[in-house]
């Protein structure tokens, strides 16, 4: 009888140990799942806050577009294309390294340039090619004249818009980028 009782006690202890370990496994799995859900919820909240912060603070370049549009009486799209035309020409007149500094100050520089109109140049200008600074200047002036005309911006606006763009960079703490832009547009 004692043997049966001992055997039964051992079986009960094994069963108790099995029940306790099963409970621990399930509760830890449940805690991990809950922690995972909590982590996902916090990540989603952080993304939402970041998205809201981005919406509430306009980018520096949207401020630039608004400033140009207001100052020159243009739509934001036309103002952006005009600024893009100036940046496109400046890019041809400064080194790649120097233009990278301008682009760092205006992160959406490529979008500006892409919004600039494509204009065909006269056969006389294309015959000159880009062999020296004088022909590059002639081609750039011709491009700006045609681009601004295509956008409906008076050509008298070219220089004031260039000054506004370099001034904007200067006012926002990008003095070196402003100087490089002026260097790229010094033929105006």
| DSSP H stretches of helix in 57-75 | 60-72
Residue 49 has pLDDT above 50, yes or no: no
Q: Which of 59, 95, 58, 66 is nearest to 164 (CA)?
A: 66
Q: How far is 109 from 103, CA to CA, in rounded Å?
A: 5
pLDDT of residue 58: 39
* Calpha distance 2→59 (Å, rounded): 84
Dist CA 188 CA 181 (whole Å): 12
pLDDT (tens digit per residue) in 135-175? 889 999 999 999 999 999 999 999 999 999 999 999 999 99
Spatial CB neighbours of 137, under 8 Å, sequence gap ≥ 6: 187
Does residue 2 have a pLDDT over 90?
no
Provide the angle, in degrees to the nearest 10, between the axes of the packed helices 76-93 and 96-105: 150
Identify which of 74, 76, 78 has the alpha carbon closest to the alpha carbon of residue 65. Answer: 76
The counts of H helices and E strands in the chain are 9, 0
d(CA 165, CA 185) in angstroms, rounded, equals 11
Q: pLDDT category, 185, cuts 50, 70, 90? A: very high
Give the pLDDT confidence score for residue 70 in this predicted structure: 96
Other beta carbons within 10 Å of 107:
11
Residue 89 has pLDDT above 80, yes or no: yes
The pLDDT value recorded for residue 56 is 35
Q: Which pLDDT value is given to residue 133?
A: 80
- Ranges assigned E (strand) in 81-180: none
Residue 102 sits at the vertex; the CA angle it makes with 87 and 91, to the nearest 5 degrees, is 40
Token couple for 57: 């603070």
Alpha carbon distance 4, 116 (integer Å): 94
φ/ψ (deg, to 5) at 108? -100, 30
């Amino acid at each position: 009888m004692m043997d049966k009782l001992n055997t039964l006690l051992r079986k009960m202890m094994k069963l108790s140990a099995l029940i306790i370990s099963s409970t621990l496994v399930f509760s830890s799995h449940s805690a991990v799942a809950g922690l995972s859900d909590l982590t996902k919820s916090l990540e989603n909240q952080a993304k939402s806050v970041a998205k809201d912060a981005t919406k509430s603070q306009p980018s520096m370049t949207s401020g630039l577009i608004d400033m140009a549009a207001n100052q020159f009486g243009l739509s934001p799209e036309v103002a952006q294309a005009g600024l893009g035309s100036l940046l496109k020409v400046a890019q041809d007149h400064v080194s790649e390294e120097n233009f990278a500094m301008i682009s760092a100050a205006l992160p959406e520089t490529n979008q500006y340039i892409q919004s600039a109109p494509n204009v065909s140049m006269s056969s006389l200008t294309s015959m000159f090619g880009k062999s020296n600074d004088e022909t590059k200047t002639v081609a750039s002036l011709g491009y700006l004249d045609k681009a601004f005309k295509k956008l409906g911006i008076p050509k008298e606006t070219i220089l004031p818009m260039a000054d506004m763009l370099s001034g904007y960079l200067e006012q926002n703490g990008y003095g070196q980028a402003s100087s490089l832009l002026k260097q790229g547009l010094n033929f105006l």
